[in-house]
Structure 1
Amino acid sequence: MNSNSKLLFQKDQIGLGKRKQATARVFLVPGEGNLIINKVSGDKYLQYNANYLNMVWSPLEKLNLGKQFDIIAVVRGGGLTGQTEAIQLGVARLLCKIDNQNRPILKPFGLLTRDARIKERKKYGLRKARKAPQYSKR
């Protein structure tokens, strides 16, 4: 690892994305368009799902930066959909941190909006958050 890439892994060059229970820390490295998630090839990690892969690359494609960067992501928690959306948000935030001119381009596509919907907590007396036990009249 050369000294130039070490600079890109500093604390101020992290894009943090969250969705449901998933958290993604994203790094952008100048490269030829590789995706690495948790030290595994992004294609393999996302099970070769075209929708997930398009979702991760969409912020770069909206800015016509297609294959100029490698995305390196460290994700924890949640499932594949939540992790994918967390990576997408992290990439978009990092692109805005790198160049503030990217913000007005990405904002109309909703790529900078944190989806605040999370699982509702279970309430006592119920089976799940809202599912009640079967009612018996007699």
Structure 2
Amino acid sequence: MGRSYATGKRKDAVARVWIRPGSGKVTINGREMNKYFARPVLQMVLAQPFSVAGVTGEFDVMATVKGGGLSGQAGAVKHGISKALQLYEPTLRPALKAAGFLTRDARVVERKKVGLHKARKRPQFSKR
């Protein structure tokens, strides 16, 4: 079908990403990238895989993303784009791998413990 699909994950966010040759148009959940990710930092995160691989503006991206916040969603889409690029053009793998874009960032929020206020914050100590 002339396109590539991959799943990207980051924190609680999961992104389904399709890429195909085109003009560099990025659509997330049916909206343009700069409408969905209004912060320039998040738009820069999405552009990283293309700049590292040296294929800026050569692929159209269509992604659906669920869960987490905007930062996690941007990371998930970035992970998905990187995996899809590598599947579409295997020669791009070394550059993406060296940049660390193919590795799923395993850091997630630590769970709250019983008897504590948060994951590690303890109640104030009272001497008497």
TM range (shorter): over 0.9
Q: Which residues of structure 2 form unaligned runs of 5+?
A: none
Quote the residue 1:39 is aligned against.
30
Which of 65, 72, 82 is the equivalent residue of 1:82? 72
Partner of 1:62: 52
Q: What is the CA-CA distance between 1:30 and the residue it aligns to?
A: 2.1
| TM-score normalised by length of structure 2 | 0.92
Tell me how many residue pairs correspond in the alignment.
128
Structure 2 counterparts to residues 91-130 of structure 1, below 5 A: 91-130=81-120
CA–CA separation in structure 2 for the residues paired with 1:33 and 1:14: 16
CA distance in 2, matches of 1:94, 1:66: 14
CA RMSD of aligned residues (A): 1.4
Q: What code does the residue aligned with 1:56 have? A: L
**Displacement of 1:118:** 0.2
Select which of 15, 29, 33 maps to 2:6: 15
Provide structure 1 residue ranges, at least 5 long, that are not aligned to the other structure.
none
Letter in structure 2 aligned against 1:116: A
Identity %: 43
CA distance in 2, matches of 1:125, 1:61: 47
TM superposition outliers: structure 1 runs of 4+ over 4 Å? none
Normalising by the residue count of structure 1, what TM-score does the alignment of the two structures yield? 0.86
